[in-house]
Structure 1
């Protein structure tokens, strides 16, 4: 059974805190400015981040709490209660991919960023607030050590390794200088440690030692090497002792070097337990050594081990790619613990179901977010396991595993209660006697064990070669429930576009009579009930990309088979460019298509028969850079969202103005997790945009939602509203162009909020507790009258407490 499908039930915190970022020199300070309990009571413009905290890189023990650096942020595991807290950028972390962690005398965490963002942050885990961030444009941080008066950070910058020194001065740590222990080029610095006035640096050339108080360690000549050590992969400090893994051996250093064991080959970390026993960990097992340095016993780990930690109760803790494991050193048994989260940070396709569930698909499988939490269907090449989960299980990691050949996912859709997604490059492979396949993957939402793989052997999908290789791209479900499939890699030109009908018939769209063929189809869409499909294609080293439009008609033959008549047309997406690649397209009003090209967003306007098109002269978001995997989607208000796989997220409103501006969304001006934006999807009823990035999934409460036809769902929060407050009361559920008036119970008008004012954003209005005069109102109950130009109105009560 795969470990990912068999974690115990654990707890997760749902609290998130936002932060405002102000940059000054190399130091970034953060202040909390709102707390969003959930999107059921959130304001337009508020962000959430959903990151995976399963891949745990390093852990430390603070009281009964295990604090871990993960690829999704900081994970706090409270051992006594079994409760988890997961912290990410909305909690004030400057990076969510954390590679190193330490604690200082103030109880603050020192955090180091993984490649390529080697930032150093001091963070208060009690208040969930940042103390300071030091950003020197480093590539990565490998280790941190802190004493009462000094801290040292091992870093990589491009190809150069070094050590940062921070000193305690004026009641704060501040950056002082850089140390370089070696004249020769270092391949790595795996660890740093402080003992007295000496700083130790573990490297590929050995362990360097320098007196940081008496000597200037900027100069390599002021360092010395411990004799006989090379390729030091780990150095652990246990009180006055340093345990060193070097060249396949385990060494101890107090006043002199002492060989503890020569059975340390392939070991990654080493610790000594309180009873004096030495343990070392390889990727998938732990060795226990006897007093002579021989391996006394070996315990197999179900997760890949990154680090070891000797706990104060005598047990061992392993930080792995599948959560935490606490090992009983008396018998070698492990208790596994992991929080409820997605199994991965990288999902390349998103869709939102009618009931509001988010479905994210990627190389690792599928993750589904519901009111209960995250459910994962994990792709595996060796294991298939399904379980019956209840709501109680969602306090921990929840996963089933299924066997299929995985790769990047291009598109995911829902049809008749089933999820379909495409694998961008999959070839049947025999593993342990089983043939692992890929192609179009489908499963039943309510019973994921009802799983189907459509590949070249069991479907109408045409492979790229005789080995059955499939390279599939866009999916689209039309109004007749036909599933359209863009078969990028099909060898047969007349099977590049394939349709799976509701009654499981396969129809191919022939390219007969088309002078410029659609060789490399990317995304595909069907325009309403007009019998029109649109498909983009990309330029390769042989063929030019084009934008194709086809008029089609399905007919039923006497044999019962389906047939299709199609009339193709092709267009250049940009007449002034040699590259007419189209990555994706959307159709807004009838006769208009927006196409995403490598150069930016273009608008094409067609005649009534879609046989000719005129191009708008302007390229929106020109120069941003939209590479393969960049896409566009439209929300329910016909606003167009463009994701760049290298340069952030951009929005063009239906009136052709940008939102919030032409610069778009980036990690330095929002809570966007990464510049690499991979997919966008919408909960149009609630007004939520979900944004998949290379570092996790964001959600953003947007002012664009399905048009409200009444005030039946209006509500105000927080209730009661305590003033003065840095945050306004929100009146949610407004119809379009709504205005508000706030009265006393006796009917005296206190405040008017007009629809065009800055206090109304889409379906939400904001009130700061003040009258039109600017004065705060008093404690009491007030009436809010909401109305719109069509004559609809509604009156509700709100409570205010003035403190």
Structure 2
């Protein structure tokens, strides 16, 4: 397989210096335009603030003013810096404060001020709750109780406390799940017991002896040290535990257990006027005059975990089950909660622009006229991969039920009606982790097939005929059963395995004719593959094979045929902090290479070979674990599937074009502030670039459509207006004007 393109590419890592402070980190957001799609179905806490219901969820912060309309949604890209939100309060000065993963947020919409929390290693940690005492905020975290000054230097940590009496945490520190302030006392619900101390002199809280503990060792009736909530109500203190509800009788030094929800986890306690509302795994109840009464949960899929009353309407959240509202009758689902789930496996975009999302455990949904509609595919365990073919059908690869084809109708292909095979002779459990198509043919991976089938191949025009399917497997030279990824290019099939490297299988012009087939296996000991544990295989537009593994990224030197004895893989030097595991590889219309990893997203510039790395700290990426990458070929937008939601990076150039009349330069104005800044074009073909002054003098002649603002002598040009001429390989010419601004 010969290639005429230049075989020399440069891959340079650019490593930014990061200064780590004990508490606050310097976080720079990338210039790209990001959108976050998440689910607000998993409520942690609800508060009534300014006549709106504020919901802290695992998908961000939601503010609902009317049950009949969408609420205001806040996520990592419009104020919070995170989607993992645990609490919101309104302080005495009416300022709202929010806690979330790694951040305390002084909330003001998109103008919010974020105070990142990190340990001495720079690692962020969870914040669970916050209480206001006027001058200070008390913040409960997974590492410590934190005293935060709202006024000194615009907000800063004053102190932290980790030792409470003789608590014996399961981990090095106890989770502070909830805080209650009663006079001068501070009560903490922790993962290792209930503690209380006098907070009038915060310095004294450093001494463990100044705390009083309520734990199983002292009060056996508790039955657990996992204290989830604490609330002051009618001069008494109530605690919600993983074993039920208790009243702290400080006079008689005992704990009084309530029969309601006994033995079940108490998820939230809410004081409303003369009532204490109890949200638990064992039911929904209210305590008045010392008696707990069960409340109706009609219309709810399960018991609520939190809630609040807004006028005549009670709002409740069901753990990972949505938000509901009701008055005197049954509860009704609030439908405006974003994605159905946050655990996104993959995304596909149809030719008509329909966004299809496959969730790892919640099935497949399509966004139709602004509403997420579930398409009922078979998925007994989890979803893994999506692909759109030339007919506009969306193919879903699943773990357990083979393939689903989704269009106007849905078709299922598994061991009973295709060449896919189950894990046992009489076990139809069929795993298809990867699917791709080319022309009229479909190729699907087949993991752990009992008979050694590695790849199922079908004719798209007649898939319902069993004779239109064939398979490749051990008898054909693909000797591994751990097939995790497949891709096809011009008669060649790349088959990635979880333990034996990559098989390159030459199918030839006739996919169903095996007489001219050949196969070669690439692994660590042959052709220098980075690792035999392959995560993804992907062909570039020129046929070059890229392989993401558990220990790095390799690309085949495309100067050689795949069966050439001199050919070999070349390892790509990844930038510090990214990798080594590569979970996804994709190519955009500018020949940029996009890489997904467990610790972020990386882009290799298609012209310079330079790396750019995006993480949840320096960009709008919703989570650092990128499991799949999808590029919308119609817009150029990048869809990034993660376990915490879906991130969309908008294309800076729109859809790449091969029409020189539609080409434009970007950014324009071209602001040059460093040697890394470049002017680019949305042209998808090879072209040369000439830059002229307005007087017609030649400034630069370049072999690629990219300019760094220097002339042919390497000298920076002055600010001003310049003209450009692009010439493609056929001699067609495109012209335009740019403004260069040098900082």
- 1:282-305 CA distance string (max 9 Å, x none): 338423456562535432463555
Cα distance in 1 for partners of 2:97, 2:396 equals 41
How far is 1:195 from its partner?
A: 1.9
Q: Quick check: 1:248 aligned with 2:201?
A: no
1:128 equivalent in alignment to 2:111: yes
Would the aligned equivalents of 1:342 and 1:367 in 2 still touch at CA under 8 Å? no
The equivalent of 2:10 in structure 1 is none
SS in 1 for 2:517: strand
Structure 2 residue 393 is the aligned partner of structure 1 residue 440 = no
CA drift of 1:175 comes to 1.2
Q: Which of residues 201, 206, 214 in structure 2 aligns to 1:218? A: 206
Residue 503 of structure 1: how far off its partner (Å): 0.6
Q: 2:338 aligns with which of 335, 341, 345?
A: 341
Question: Cα distance, 1:610 vs. partner?
Answer: 4.6
Q: 1-side partners of 2:621 and 2:192: how far apart?
A: 40
Q: CA 1:195–1:294 in structure 2 vs 1: closer, same or farther (change >3 Å)?
A: closer
CA contact (8 A) 2:538 2:545 kept: yes
What is the aligned partner in structure 2 of residue 323 from structure 1?
Answer: 322
Give the corresponding residue for 1:637: 590
Shift of 1:577: 6.7
Larger CA deviation: 599-608 vs 255-264 = 255-264
Aligned to 1:467, what secondary structure does the other structure show? coil
TM-fit CA distance, 1:620: 0.1
Is 1:595 the counterpart of 2:547? The answer is yes
Q: Shift in Å at residue 462 of structure 1?
A: 1.0
Number of the residue aligned with 1:801: none
Match of 2:138 among 130, 152, 161: 152
Helix, strand or coil at the partner of 1:399: strand
Q: Return closer, same or farther for 1:141/1:127 CA change in 2, 3 Å cut-off.
A: closer
The answer to whether the 8 A contact 2:523-2:532 is kept is yes
The correspondence for 1:676, drawn from 625, 628, 633, is 625
CA separation of 1:484 and 1:243: change in aligned 2, threshold 3 A: same
For the structure 1 residues 484 and 123, does the alpha-carbon distance in structure 2 shift closer, same or farther, using more than 3 Å as the test? same
**Residue 181 of structure 2 aligns to a residue in which SS?**
strand
How does the TM-score come out when normalised to structure 1?
A: 0.72
> 2:558 and 2:734 mapped to 1: Cα distance?
41
- Matched residues in 2 for 1:613 and 1:410: separation? 35
Tell me: CA distance 1:173–1:608, structure 2 relative to 1, closer, same or farther (3 Å). closer
2:661 is the counterpart of 1:711: yes
Does residue 508 in structure 1 map to residue 470 in structure 2? yes
Aligned-pair CA distance for 1:275: 5.7
- Matching of residue 526 in structure 1 with residue 488 in structure 2: yes
1:404 to 378, 381, 384: 378
Distance of 1:614 and 1:684 partners within structure 2: 35
Shift of 1:614: 3.6
Q: When the two structures are aligned, how many residues end up with a matched partner?
A: 673
The yes-or-no answer on 1:659 pairing with 2:608 is no
2:197 and 2:212 in contact (8 A); partners too: yes
Shift of 1:564: 4.6
Relative contact order, CA 8 A, sep 6+: which one is greater? 2
Is the 2:167–2:213 contact (alpha carbons within 8 Å) kept by the matching residues of 1?
no
1:242 shift after superposition? 4.0
SS in 2 for 1:711: helix
Equivalent runs, 1:770-781 vs 2, <5 Å: none
- Quote how far apart the aligned CAs of 1:463 are: 0.8
Contact 2:268 2:278 in 1 (8 A): yes
**Structure 1 match to 2:8:** none
Q: CA deviation at 1:625?
A: 4.1
Residue number in structure 2 paired with 1:165: 147
Segments of structure 1 that go 5 or more residues without pairing to the other structure are 1-20, 35-43, 376-390, 427-437, 556-561, 722-727, 761-770, 775-782, 799-803
Q: Structure 1 757/104 Cα, relative in aligned 2: closer, same or farther at 3 Å?
A: farther
Q: Note closer, same or farther for the CA distance 1:489–1:107 as it changes in structure 2 (3 Å cut).
A: farther
User: CA separation in 2, counterparts of 1:658 and 1:701?
Assistant: 20
How far is 1:199 from its partner?
0.5
1-structure distance, mates of 2:693, 2:277? 68
Could you tell me which runs of 5 or more consecutive residues in structure 2 were left unpaired when the two chains were aligned. Answer: 1-16, 670-676, 711-716
What SS does the aligned partner of 1:341 have?
Answer: coil
Q: State the shift of 1:477 in Å.
A: 0.6
Root-mean-square deviation (CA, aligned residues, Å) is 4.4
- TM-score using structure 2 length: 0.78
